[in-house]
Amino acid sequence: MQGKLRLKRAEGMQIELDENDDLLPEYDLDFAKSKPNRFAAAYNRMVVRVGLAPDVAEEFPTEQSVNEALRDYIRITRQEKPEIPAR
C-alpha cells in the first residue's frame, strides 16, 4: 500500500494513516472534551438558508449572486408605480 502507514495503538487497535495527510497522529482529537459552539445560535439568527431548485442553482453559482439578484428584484418591485388615470 503506497502512501499508507499502519500504526498500532494500545489494546490491539490499528489505525491506517495516509502519509500525505496533514493531520498527524500527535494531534489528540478527543471529541469527548469538546464544547458546544457558543456562537452557533447567534449565527443561526443572522442567516436564513433556503433551497434552490437545480435549474435556478445553475444560474446562481454563489450565495452573493443570489442575494444581488434578489436585492435587484426587491428594488425594482418596490419602486412607485405611476398611477394610470381611469378612462
Percent of the chain scoring above 90 in pLDDT: 28
Alpha helix ranges (H) inside 30-82: 40-46, 54-59, 63-78
Domain ranges (residues) in the chain: 50-80
Percent of the chain scoring above 70 in pLDDT: 71
**pLDDT at res. 15:** 64
Is the pLDDT at 5 greater than 70? The verdict is no
pTM: 0.43
Nearest Cα neighbor of 70 from 52, 46, 55 is 52
